[in-house]
Amino acid sequence: MAADIPVRRRPRWRTVLLVVGAAVLGLVAGTCVGYLVQADREPTPLPSLSQATVAQAEGEGPEPLSAAQDRKVRTDGDLRKLLLRKPTGARPAAWLEGTDGWLDIAGYAETSTRPGYRFVRLVNDHFRRAAVVGWELDRSSNVEIRLVQFRQDDRLSAVDSSSENQTWAESRPGTDSWAVPGTGDGMAYVHAEPYRKPGYLPQYSAEAHARRGDIAMQIWVYDSKPIAQKTIMDLAERQMERL
């Protein structure tokens, strides 16, 4: 008996193409019918984008905050009024004659041992103004307080100024330091080692540096005898309370 020989059947491509074509025609026809039905319908109204007019409030606006309520009002005013007052019996500092309580950028730079470098730094730090007060208790004891204000448009220059002065104070040998309460990172320093010069009394010193907002506070105390912690701390605390 002859073996069965498998017969290769040709694929039914014509049938497949007919089925696919019918499906495509069906989709196209359905889409067209959908568009025709939608075109015959009434348009659906959309909610209005306009809003009801809100009545403007009448009457006067709130009163501006006073200097006691708004710190910015105080610090944008006469900065000299925020400085501590000269104690009763003390004499105005001779080295501040003619300043009228203000130091411009050139005058403030001149207080540095490197005025040219300091002037450039102040320009870059957007120096705004500086108010200063000083007094002499006797021929060998005196105090100087400065409030230095910066614009701080793109950097916290008051922070940088305070930190730099603190770094210099801490670098002196024989220095004790204490945090100034209520100032965050404010510090007070007493230098136990005096500055000595032949023919002159020894000069002891203490200083305090703190900042609040755009103002850096700087205090220096000089005396021919050691300065107590209480002296510099009292000045620093009372001055910061006014800012």
Nearest residue to 158 via CA among 219, 210, 101: 210
Write out the DSSP string of 152-181.
-SSS-HHHHHHHHHHHHHHHSTTEEEEEPT
| Residue 239 buriedness (CB in 10 A; 0-12 / 13-18 / 19+) | buried
Q: Is 5 among the domain residues?
A: no
- Answer yes or no: are the C-beta atoms of 210 and 185 closer than 8 Å: yes
Q: Is 193 among the domain residues?
A: yes
Q: Is 34 among the domain residues?
A: no
Q: Is 19 among the domain residues?
A: no
Q: Is 139 among the domain residues?
A: yes
What is the number of residues in the chain? Answer: 243
What three-state secondary structure class fits 50? coil
- Which structural domain range is residue 179 located in? 71-80+88-241
Q: Is 218 among the domain residues?
A: yes
Q: Is 58 among the domain residues?
A: no
| Residue 183 buriedness (CB in 10 A; 0-12 / 13-18 / 19+) | buried
pLDDT on residue 106: 95
pLDDT on residue 2: 40
Q: What is the dihedral of CA 98, 99, 100, 102, to 10 degrees?
A: 170
pLDDT on residue 13: 44
CATH value at residue 138: 3.40.1000
Q: Is 8 among the domain residues?
A: no
Number of Cα atoms under 13 Å in the Cβ half of residue 140? 12
The count of domains in the chain is 1
pLDDT one digit per residue (tens) for the chain, 243 residues = 444 434 434 444 454 444 445 554 555 455 544 544 455 566 666 665 556 666 666 656 555 555 454 556 667 889 999 999 999 999 999 989 888 999 999 999 999 999 999 999 999 999 999 999 999 988 889 999 999 999 977 789 999 999 999 999 999 999 999 999 999 899 999 999 999 999 999 999 999 999 999 999 999 999 999 999 999 999 999 999 999
Q: 217: which residues sit within 8 A by CB, 6+ positions away?
A: 145, 146, 147, 148, 162, 186, 208, 209, 210, 211, 236, 239, 240, 243
- Answer yes or no: are the C-beta atoms of 143 and 219 closer than 8 Å: yes
Please give the Cα distance from 163 to 140 (Å, whole number): 29
